[in-house]
Chain A
Amino acid sequence: MPLTQEAVRAWLQRCAAVLEENRDYLTQLDAAIGDADHGVNMDRGFKAAMARLTTLNAPDIGSIFKTVGMALVATVGGAGGPLYGTFFLQLGVKTAGKQELTPQDWAEALEAAVNGVIARGQARLGDKTMVDALLPALEAYKAALQDGASFVEALARSAAAAEEGMKATIPMVAKKGRASYLGERSAGHQDPGATSSYLILQAAAETWADVS
């Protein structure tokens, strides 16, 4: 069974809940190598997004993602605003006019979203950013579908790859964002952006664990 509008909304709600639960954790990670606001920023952004969704009578899945993207752009505040804003706006572009998403639809939407983040932030794999969680997650998802894995299995492998990518940021030296001002001293800390990206993809795997 493909993903419906309700399933998409359930994922976003879970994202908001998980980001609220991990607000202090994300902020602590950011305090070590950045400006100590990532958790607060993401929590504020997703709360604003949920408020806008409550009053949205969405004609399609694309408009749900677009609403979330614009809310994040206007309320997150740090680099996460334009980066996650772009992520969700790109999901919205690829799912415009759709009432449901197949596993292949999700592959195309996720690909556009991850490429959008890369284009916006100009980060490469290994720069200690969101990309270190997102890109392996995208590749794992696409590979799983090609292997004939189920939607649920592909989502689980994608989240596992994001987690591995997140942990791999620990020894990295930051090349982007506020953390890059620290140079070598940024090594030894897990990247907060990669962590929030993992949490968001893990939320998808959990929310959609019973879709098909």
Chain B
Amino acid sequence: MVALVIVAHSAKLAEGVRELAAQMTQGRVPIFAAGGVDDDILGTNAERIQEALAAALASSEQVLVLMDLGSAVLSARMAIDLLPEELRPRVRLSQAPLVEGAVVAAVEASIGKDVDEIEASAVEAARMPKVT
């Protein structure tokens, strides 16, 4: 099963998205939150993300990383580079929007889809009509 890592500028935001996605899948999908510089300071922390990636890689063969804005992507890339080289190809960064993407990715992961299928569905989530 594919694991998810949630990267956001706020620890609360990352944890909240993790909670939301976990609720959809009743804890069947391993989801790890890596938000904030620490629990109080806004920002992203590549060391924190690396720890979440390592935990996710210990539970799953493939990991999809969902991110919020700006430096989240830079820090996630840095965190991947801090991993042992042989683990790096098992991590993929998602283009999807954070909240919708994480919920859709969790549902798709819970039914055993592979990482490419999950990413495609998560990206598609951005186009789902919200107000009809």
Contact = CB atoms under 8 A, between A and B. Distances in A.
Interface in A84-143: 85-86, 120-121
A70 interface: yes
A77 B74 contact: no
A88 to B, nearest CB: 12
Contacts of A75: 37, 45
Contacts of A120: 74, 77-78
Contacts of B45: 73-75, 77, 81
A41 interface: yes
A81 B46 contact: yes
Interface in A32-70: 37, 41, 44, 70
Contact of B77 (A41, A74, A82): A82
B37 to A, nearest CB: 4
A74 B37 CA distance: 7
A83 B78 CA distance: 9
B41 interface: yes
A75 B41 CA distance: 9
B34 to A, nearest CB: 12
B75 interface: yes
Contacts, number: 64
B70 A82 contact: no
B43 interface: yes
A74 B75 CA distance: 9
Nearest to A34: B70
Contacts of B75: 73, 81-82
B77 A81 contact: no
A77 B43 contact: yes
Given A82-B74, A83-B74, A77 B46 contact: no
Nearest to A176: B70
Nearest to B75: A82
Interface in B23-75: 37, 41-48, 69-71, 74-75
B42 A178 contact: no
Nearest to B71: A79
8 contacts: A70-B47, A77-B41, A77-B44, A78-B43, A79-B74, A81-B43, A81-B71, A82-B77
- 5 closest A-B pairs by CB: A77-B43, A74-B47, A82-B78, A77-B37, A79-B71
